[in-house]
Amino acid sequence: DTGVSQNPRHKITKRGQNVTFRCDPISEHNRLYWYRQTLGQGPEFLTYFQNEAQLEKSRLLSDRFSAERPKGSFSTLEIQRTEQGDSAMYLCASGDVHEQYFGPGTRLTVT
C-alpha cells in the first residue's frame, strides 16, 4: 500500500535561493492538492490539479510560487527567491475532496 510520498522531507535554504519540492500521489488519484502549514495552524490550501490541469490557485500563492503536474502524475512546487516567511511545512494530498490523503510533508526552513 503506497501512500502519498514527498521529497525531500526537510530542506534548509538561504534567503533568496530557489527550492523545488516533489509529490508523488496515490497512483489512481486524478486530483492532487498542495497545502502549507505553519506552527500551531491548520493546513492552508495553495493549489489544486485535476490530472495535469491546474484548476485553482489560492491568493497565498504569490508570483514566486509555481506548481506543475506534467502528464498528470507527480507534481512539483517551486519557490523562487525564498523569504523567511516561506518557512513552513508544505503538504501534498491526493484523492477526492472529502477523502484527501496527505503525504508526510516537506519542512522548509529559510535562514
Q: In whole angstroms, how close is the CB of 38 to another protein at the nearest point? A: 10
Nearer to another protein, 16 or 56 (CB): 56
Nearest to 50 by CA among 73, 35, 31, 72: 31
Shortest distance (Å) from residue 16 CB to another protein: 26
**Could you give the CA distance from residue 96 to residue 43 in angstroms, rounded to a whole number?**
17
Nearer to another protein among residue 82 and residue 100 (C-beta): 100
Q: For another protein, which is the closer residue by CB, 17 or 45?
A: 45
- Least distance from C-beta 81 to another protein, angstroms? 26
Min separation Cβ 27 and another protein, Å = 18
Binding site for another protein (CB under 8 A): 4, 6, 31, 33, 35, 40-45, 48, 55-56, 91, 97-105, 107
CA distance 89 to 38: 6
Strand-strand pairing, 88-94 and 106-110 = antiparallel
- 46 or 79: CB nearest another protein: 46
Residues 6+ apart with CB under 8 A from 39: none
**Segment (H or E) for 104:** none
Contact 28, 84 (CB under 8 A): no
